Amino acid sequence: MSSSLILKKSNCKNCYKCIRHCPVKSIRFSGNQAHIIDNECILCGHCFVVCPQNAKQIRDETEKVHVLLQTGDPVVVSLAPSFIANYEGVGIESMREALKKLGFYDVEETAIGATMVKREYERMLKEEKRDILISSCCHSINLLIQKYFPNEIQYLADVVSPMVAHCKDIKKRIPNAKTVFIGPCVAKKDEGELSDGIVDAVLTFEELTEWLKREDIELKKEIIPDNNSRARFFPTTGGILKTMAQDAPGYTYIALDGVENCIAALKDIESGKIHNCFIEMSACIGSCIGGPVMEKYRRSPVKDYVSVANFAGEEDFDVPQPDIVAMKKDFEYIDRESKMPSESEIREILHQMGKFRPEQELNCGSCGYDTCREKAIAIYQGKAEISMCLPFLKDKAESFSDTIVKNTPNGLIVLNDKLEVQQINSAALNIMNIRYQSDVLGDQVVRILDPTVFIKVQNTGRGIYNERVYLAEYKRYVEWTIVPDRESKMLICIMRDVTDEENEREKKESISRQTVEVADKVVEKQMRIVQEIASLLGETAAETKIALSKLKESISDE
């Protein structure tokens, strides 16, 4: 079973959608990757269907079938009756013709085995008079009971499935035959492996379609009616009941589909509320025609049911009934090996998740578990991580971001696309002398700031970075950065109060101006003194020159 569903780790995006849809929570998370817990999985295939990243894939046995075909032994296909819904308008004759081109010896309908199984159910009700009898056709339901409802194993019909009954019959009739089941089910791959060589390989409809495409083989749309084919109803909800006589005295016949509905019924059985019932159980909604590997994961319940109903006849297949021993199958309890935590250990984990009081346990289901307690148990068992709790992460992120916003010295204002204030921190309130956040939250920014710059950023989509402006109404200088967030259509304004810096700068500039003015005055005065000295020196020099000249003349005359 461990290899029927394979995880492509690189594709897992940690969205938890698989665990939310897993009816038995058999998926654990480690290292931001989903891992299927084999001993808890019932192979319903829900995780395969819902995974948005296609991170789960079904083990492909096409190559295994190729090897079987090369052995030279006759390889016979047991074709699930849901094929008529998957391959619209294509009857068994057309399927046989196409698959023989692939190398198969023959193709038969699994509905032949279904006829044998329903006859055995009827015999058990009439001869053994079981109190409660649960159909054993669906391997996922069998696993559900074996793993999660061991006390109800006694009510599970100890009868082989139609697939095994048919493949047994094929091998009995055809010497050395190899059998390949083809259908819409993941669980059948596991059942085939556990069949002790009765089923040699299992393919899905999708694998078959891909093979036909590679070989360029087209399916002919042709249906030849066959009235002896009532068991073709088996893949529909209530289909088993439709084929049964339902004449066992005192019995009520019930059909259930969907794992959740089956779990609810099993709990009722466990509590002793149900008696004298035959219960048809199918893991898939709509039974097999709603299987996880119906091609392209499509859901056309009404159309598919009509296809099956029109294809089915009114009488049983004309096949001999095997003896009771050949139809018998024993079901045993499968231990899941899951340890349960004590109440104190659950409380401790809840505290780690930020759940200190019952009212804090939101039970929102975002992690995939129905309640916070179930999630705590899963954490104890190593299946889940504390970080899977969305409210926990949200509160943690908000607390962290709020701490940053509240304690940063920078002012922060967040506006929506209508330029309404969505968030404002204490630093911004102080810059603009606003007393309370409630005074401005939800109001237009024009009430506290000139909206021109915000409109410009909103229209151009280009931010403004480290621009220094003077807010005259608040007598404050700020250096702000205004950036748009395109995804949320928000505008984020971060303001740094630089009033003190600006005042200090202006003070320094004033001192510088005064110093320059004083220096200019000193220089001017010094220049005047120099000029006066120069003037005096010039007059004295001239007078000296005249006196010397006269003295010279006087001496010359003598």
Q: What single string gives the DSSP state of each residue in 185-241?
A: -SHHHHHHHTSTTSS-EEEEHHHHHHHHHHTT-PPP------SB-GGGGTTSTTHHH
Say yes or no: 298 and 447 in one domain.
no
Residue 333, in any domain of the structure? no
Residue 66 has, within 13 A of its CA and on its CB side, a CA count of: 7
Give the pLDDT confidence score for residue 398 in this predicted structure: 65
Give the pLDDT confidence score for residue 513 in this predicted structure: 82
Give the pLDDT confidence score for residue 2 in this predicted structure: 45
- Are the CB atoms for 519 and 490 separated by under 8 Å? no
Distance CA(110)–CA(328), nearest Å, equals 18
Among residues 370, 385, 407, the one where a domain terminates is 407
Domain count for the chain: 5
Say yes or no: 176 and 104 in one domain.
yes
Distances in Å between the alpha carbon of 146 and those of 118, 163, 267, 536?
A: 22, 19, 14, 127
Task: Look up residue 307 and give its two tokens.
Answer: 């296809």
Q: Mind listing the pLDDT tens digit of every residue in the chain (558 residues)? A: 446 777 777 678 778 888 888 999 998 877 678 888 888 999 999 888 888 888 888 889 999 999 999 999 999 999 999 999 999 999 999 999 999 999 999 999 999 999 999 999 999 999 998 999 999 999 999 999 999 999 999 999 999 999 999 999 999 999 999 999 999 999 999 999 999 999 999 999 999 999 999 999 999 999 999 999 999 999 999 999 999 999 999 999 999 999 999 999 999 999 998 999 999 999 999 999 999 988 755 568 899 999 999 999 999 999 999 999 999 999 999 988 777 888 888 888 888 887 888 877 787 777 778 788 888 888 888 777 776 776 766 666 666 667 777 788 899 999 999 999 999 999 999 999 999 988 999 999 999 999 999 999 999 999 999 999 999 999 999 999 999 998 888 999 999 999 988 888 878 888 878 887 877 788 788 888 878 887 777 777 677 777 667 777 777 665
Say yes or no: 211 and 72 in one domain.
yes
Dihedral of CA 404/408/410/411: which sign?
A: positive
Task: Look up residue 72 and give its two tokens.
Answer: 């030279």
Say yes or no: 64 and 204 in one domain.
yes
Say yes or no: 371 and 467 in one domain.
no
Say yes or no: 293 and 255 in one domain.
yes
Among residues 387, 407, 427, the one where a domain terminates is 407
- Are the CB atoms for 144 and 263 separated by under 8 Å? yes
Q: What is the CATH number of the domain that holds 485?
A: 3.30.450.20
Residue 223, in any domain of the structure? yes
Residues 238, 241, 243, 248, Cα dihedral to 10°: -170
Compute how many other C-beta atoms are within 10 angstroms of the C-beta atom of residue 272.
7
Residue 413, SS3?
strand
Residue 299, in any domain of the structure? yes
Residue 14, in any domain of the structure? yes
Say yes or no: 130 and 162 in one domain.
yes
Residue 502, in any domain of the structure? no
| Prediction pTM value | 0.71
Say yes or no: 52 and 90 in one domain.
no
Say yes or no: 207 and 181 in one domain.
yes
Where does 398-549 show beta strands of DSSP type E? 411-415, 421-424, 464-471, 476-485, 490-497
Query: Which helix (DSSP H) or strand (DSSP E) does residue 256 occupy?
Result: strand 252-257
Task: Determine the angle formed by the axes of helices 343-352 and 372-380, rounding to 10 degrees.
Answer: 100
Say yes or no: 527 and 380 in one domain.
no
Compute how many other C-beta atoms are within 10 angstroms of the C-beta atom of residue 424.
24
Give the pLDDT confidence score for residue 1 in this predicted structure: 43
Dihedral of CA 421/425/429/435: which sign?
A: positive
Residue 148, in any domain of the structure? yes
The arrangement of strands across the sheet holding 277-282 comes to 132-134, 277-282, 252-257
Give the pLDDT confidence score for residue 63 in this predicted structure: 96
Residues 6 or more apart whose CB falls under 8 angstroms from that of 345 comprise 380
Dihedral of CA 158/161/165/171: which sign?
A: negative
Distance CA(347)–CA(377), nearest Å, equals 10
- Are the CB atoms for 491 and 419 separated by under 8 Å? yes
Residue 504, in any domain of the structure? no
Distance CA(104)–CA(112), nearest Å, equals 19
Say yes or no: 79 and 167 in one domain.
yes
Residue 51, in any domain of the structure? yes
- Are the CB atoms for 109 and 266 separated by under 8 Å? no
Distance CA(146)–CA(508), nearest Å, equals 87
Among residues 452, 469, 497, the one where a domain terminates is 497
Distance CA(312)–CA(528), nearest Å, equals 126
Residues 6 or more apart whose CB falls under 8 angstroms from that of 240 comprise 114, 118, 121, 135, 137, 233, 234, 255, 280
Say yes or no: 318 and 345 in one domain.
no
- Are the CB atoms for 59 and 4 separated by under 8 Å? yes
Residue 402, SS3?
helix
Domain housing 363: 339-407
Q: What is the CATH number of the domain that holds 3?
A: 3.30.70.20
Residues 6 or more apart whose CB falls under 8 angstroms from that of 459 comprise none
Distance CA(449)–CA(424), nearest Å, equals 13
